[in-house]
Amino acid sequence: MIVRPRPHWFRMLFIWRGSVLRKLVPRLSIIGGLAVFAQVLHISVDAAWLHRVELSLQPFTLLGLALAIFLGFRINVSHERYWDARKLWGTIMNASRALARQALTLTEWAPKSPEAQRFVRALIAHAHAFRHQLRGTDATDDLQRLLVPADLLRVLPARWKPVVIQQLLGDQLHAARRSGELPDILSASMEQSFNTLGDAIGGCERIAGTPIPLTFSVMVHRTIYFYCTLLPFALVGTIGWYAPVFAVFVAYTFMALEAIAEELEAPFGFDDNDLALGAICDNIEASLLEMLGESLPPPKPIPADFVVH
């Protein structure tokens, strides 16, 4: 995800990174070439023959209106998935902080004790492991620096590493209850935080494992390219050499909306507009380590156009 302060309205016209324009340049070039070809054909062939095959703008007006409605629906669905994912990760952050606070205040563990260190660092490892699971990346480095060797041996071979880490956290609390370090009446509040954390993880897995139905995406995609390919041949008879400009602009509008919807549909990836999961996990790690009383380096300022994953 690209993080930047909101630029001036004039500078926004020329933003390159973070927009989908660089993905669309080859396709827009093809549409522009078709528009130039249509204009050359229009001025070079017999006018009477051309009049019989010339396309009317009326069907494109009706089709453009319907296409805009479908694209609006597509954008709304994709943005809802994106915002739902962000709220779920906010819940993961809040539940992790709540569990760390409860472990340090409801139990007999001191912040510098091995038990507290193991529990809180496993919470941090849980967030990183889930980030790697959603993105299909290797979590070994983060797990090795955060988990104790005994826990690492159980987590590394697991397929669902965050679930195994939750089991280890539950086992540690169960041992604390048996030893009297955690009263039974207070363990219920921690169990509620665990359930909240599990619900948020399940919600993220639902988003990651249930894409928008392919048939809907294919229908919108085909309609956009059919519309943009034939549009230049309808414009040349009315606006002449301005046809390539307007054809490219209309194609950019429709294709960009589709490309934005595709990025927002899968918010856990590495596209410019996906969620900054790395930054979220770093915030979880920093806040939990601070609760343990460990000193943290000052946050680094984020420069303009800085990509945060």
**In terms of DSSP H, where are the helices of 106-183?**
114-135, 140-146, 149-155, 161-178
pTM of the model: 0.84
Q: 75 by DSSP, 3-state: which? A: helix
Q: pLDDT band at 233, cuts 50/70/90?
A: confident
| Encoded amino acid at 210, one letter | T
Please write the tens of the pLDDT for every residue from 49-89: 555 555 677 777 778 888 888 888 888 989 999 999 999 99
The answer, yes or no, to whether residue 109 has pLDDT greater than 50, is yes
Do 79 and 207 form a contact (C-beta atoms < 8 A)? Answer: no
Q: Residues of the chain with pLDDT > 90: what percent?
A: 35
Q: What is the pLDDT of residue 299?
A: 64
Q: Which of 256, 308, 260, 102 is nearest to 193 (CA)?
A: 102
What is the rounded distance in angstroms from the CA atom of residue 278 to the CA atom of residue 127?
A: 10
> How confident is the model over 138-160, as a mean pLDDT?
91
Q: How far apart are the first and last CA of the chain?
A: 6
Q: What confidence tier does 304 reach under pLDDT thresholds 50, 70, 90?
A: very low
Q: Please report, rounded to a whole number, the percentage of residues in the chain having pLDDT higher than 70.
A: 87
b/e burial code for range 178-198 (CB count within 10 A of at least 16 → b): eeeebeeeebeebeebbebbe
Q: What is the mean pLDDT of residues 208-216?
A: 86
d(CA 152, CA 223): 51
Give dist(CA 53, CA 247) in Å, integer: 19
CB 109 within 8 A of CB 103: yes
Residue 305 above 50 pLDDT?
A: no
Q: Mean pLDDT over all residues of the chain?
A: 84
